[in-house]
Structure 1
Amino acid sequence: MADSLRKLLEAKTVLSVPGVYDGLSARLVELAGFKAAFLSGACLSFARFGRPDLGLISAAEVAESVAVIRERTPLPLIVDIDTGFGNALNVQRTVTTFERAGASALQMEDQLMPKRCGHMLGKQVISCGEMVGKIHAALDARRSEETLIFARTDALGVNGFDDALERAERYLEAGADAIFVEAPKDLTQMQAIGERFGSQIPLIHNLVEGGKSPVRSASELEELNYRIALFPASLLHLFIPAAQQLLSQLRIDGHLEKLHDQMIDLSEVNALLGADELLAKSKQYEYE
């Protein structure tokens, strides 16, 4: 059984957490030896619905994905719940539903709907007081203290660095289990965040290819006193160009001979996903 997320965060080392969006990606992350996974709302929107990260997916669609992933892996699962899908009462229902589906932690942000990717321009944020109320609502709704509530602020790109720090302080006081100041503009800002909060609470940072982060690695984050390094879209950012290459080759040549060495076959996929184990297990239910 995987360690709880709370136990993992007691360690002094940074926790690298790849983004997942379905059962296969979750299985790959587990087999690669990672200790936790992150259900990215952006990647769920990208991969399942072919849509940008603009708050277009519903709570029910995310909850269904949580349940699918939880069935596939015991890894602690951090779930992006965007704005909590509404006001404080909506947040409570979201927490109850997602906790029941198998989420280990719920990451909520203070954007105004319709939200957008944290590294995009044009974001808006709700008042600090409203977000504090939503954090309290989330904490009241959880049934287990092992279910963690992570608070993210997008205020830096809207109201400036000082407001983002003030919000982070208020969210910490409200009882959040981790703090995420999205999209610092430079290393100086990240150092200030780490110095102010790193000894009090786990700090989260997004490492997004093409994003605005001034750092690129988990080791850099550890030096800055951060504890969770999210790689939310890395799997998809590699998959998309690989898929485009394959489809182009197939359209031009009518076959994939040139790419066979880069592909796995059906038997390997079945082995990866545990087909033989399932078939063996089914035999215990065969009766004369």
Structure 2
Amino acid sequence: MPLGVEQTSGQKLRQLLARPEILVIPGVYDCLGAKLVEQLGFDVVATSGFGIAASNLGLPDYGFLTVTEMLYTVGRIAQSVSIPLIADMDTGYGNALNVIRTVKEAVQLGVAGVILEDQEWPKKCGHFEGKRVISMAEHAGKIRAAVQARGDSGLVIIARTDARAQLGLEEAIRRGSTYIEAGADALFVEAPQSVEELQTIASAFPDVPLIANIVEGGKTPQISASELQQLGFKIVFFPVTALLAVTQTMTACLRHIKEQGTTANLQDLVKFKDFQELMGVPKYLQMEKQFGG
């Protein structure tokens, strides 16, 4: 890259994918979660459509989110951190033409990678029942459209197939091969149901960056990142773990307030001063003084 030319977020993500170790990527649904991921030293963060639907709409991951709502949330998250962000972009919100618009907008917002799945719209969480997929040819066309739309941004395009649930693992692998041929940079076969199925996927794509998606209580076994790396996977997402943890913690906190009527003896709260540090309050106080605010 020429001296003085800043890397795009997509190019940064590509460098990380070139490393030998697996990328462990937590899923977030807001800027606070993304900042915590960055602070704790993760190299990449990902948005969870499941979490964004729950936190923004109070609804399940059933295709209720619009492209405008998703891009608005994803854009704010991408701009709140300096590490690359992979965005769950569902089906691209329509046909190939809609995918082009979605991808161009994602690039403008500083997104490093997008996940595009082959479900029918309205889609469902990959670990829900009743999913249906579009034709392989149609999704391959959407992948080709995404490749064209990203231009020279370096945006990483992750093709996801949900065909395992409806059509079986063999068809999911066949689709994966077609999507890689269409130009996808990485492959995400959603919801394999055993370690053996994970092994079969890895054996079918020895030279393709592969994604595993670990949903607690979902269909894929909860094996570790090191075990997934040994199988041949390049990325492991933990898309809803933080969401589930926050829900548990918030429920306990609110129950305590309801029952006790005080927070004087509430344990395990982040100190108010530490939270201000996380949000950059000292920096902004200094800027106020600098500019006479």
Whether the TM-score (by the shorter chain) exceeds 0.5 is yes
What residue is the counterpart of 1:188 in the other structure?
Answer: 196
Identify the residue that residue 269 of structure 2 maps to in structure 1. 263
Counterpart contact for 2:216–2:222, Cα < 8 Å: no
Q: How large is the RMSD of aligned CA atoms in angstroms? A: 1.5
- 1:164 to partner: Cα distance: 0.5
CA distance in 2, matches of 1:23, 1:144: 27
Q: Compute the displacement of 1:145 (Å).
A: 4.3
TM-score of the pair, normalised by structure 2: 0.94
**Structure 1 residue aligned with 2:117:** 109
1:244 to 243, 251, 263: 251
Counterpart CA distance in 1 for 2:256 and 2:185 is: 48
Q: 1:52 aligns with which of 60, 63, 70?
A: 60
CA distance in 2, matches of 1:284, 1:36: 33
* Deviation for aligned residue 1:195: 1.3
Q: In 2, distance between residues paired with 1:161 and 1:77?
A: 29
Counterpart of 2:154 in 1: which secondary structure? coil
Alignment of 1:170-189 (within 5 A): 170-189=178-197
Q: Distance in 2 between matches of 1:257 and 1:130?
A: 58
**Is the 2:92–2:102 contact (alpha carbons within 8 Å) kept by the matching residues of 1?**
yes
Tell me which of 271, 280, 287 is aligned to 1:274. Answer: 280
> Structure 2: which 5+ runs fail to align?
1-6
Task: Give the conservation status (yes or no) of the 8 Å contact 2:22–2:234.
Answer: yes
Alignment match, 1:155: 163
| Distance in 2 between residues matched to 1:159 and 1:239, nearest whole Å | 35
SS in 1 for 2:159: strand
Matched, 1:22 2:30: yes
State the alpha-carbon separation in 2 of the partners of residues 120 and 70 from structure 1: 27
Query: SS of the residue aligned with 1:103?
Result: coil
What is the deviation of 1:23?
A: 1.0
* Deviation for aligned residue 1:71: 2.1
The answer on whether the counterparts of 1:38 and 1:79 sit within 8 Å (CA) in structure 2 is yes
Identify which of 73, 77, 83 aligns with 2:91: 83
**Residues matched between the structures, number:** 285
| Alpha-carbon distance in structure 1 between the residues aligned to 2:168 and 2:153 | 33
Counterpart amino acid of residue 111 in structure 1: Q
State which of 224, 228, 235 in structure 2 corresponds to 1:228: 235
Checking the alignment, whether the CA contact within 8 Å between 2:214 and 2:221 is kept in structure 1 is: no
**Which string of whole-angstrom CA distances, capped at 9 and with x for unpartnered residues, describes residues 196-227 of structure 1?**
11x32110011111111124321111011000
Q: Distance in 1 between matches of 2:254 and 2:184?
A: 45
TM-score, length of structure 1 as denominator length: 0.95
For 1:277 and 1:159, locate their aligned partners in 2 and report how far apart those are by CA, in whole Å: 54
Give the conservation status (yes or no) of the 8 Å contact 1:20–1:37: yes
Which of the residues 131, 134, 144 maps onto 1:136?
144
The 1-side partners of 2:262 and 2:106 are apart by 43
Q: Give the drift of 1:281.
A: 2.6
1:245-281 Cα deviation digits (max 9, x unpaired): 111111111112332x310232221112111012213
Question: 2: distance between equivalents of 1:148 and 1:286?
Answer: 43
Aligned mates of 1:103, 1:145 — CA distance in 2: 10
Quote the Cα distance in structure 2 between the aligned partners of 1:243 and 1:171.
Answer: 41
Give the structure 1 partner of residue 4 of structure 2.
Answer: none
User: Which one of 204, 207, 213 corresponds to residue 206 of structure 1?
Assistant: 213
Report the 3-state secondary structure (helix = DSSP H, G, I; strand = E; otherwise coil) of the residue aligned with 2:115.
strand
**Does 1:31 find its partner at 2:58?**
no
Specify the SS of the correspondent of 2:131. Answer: coil
- Name the counterpart of 1:166: 174
Cα distance in 1, alignment partners of residues 154 and 265 from structure 2 = 49
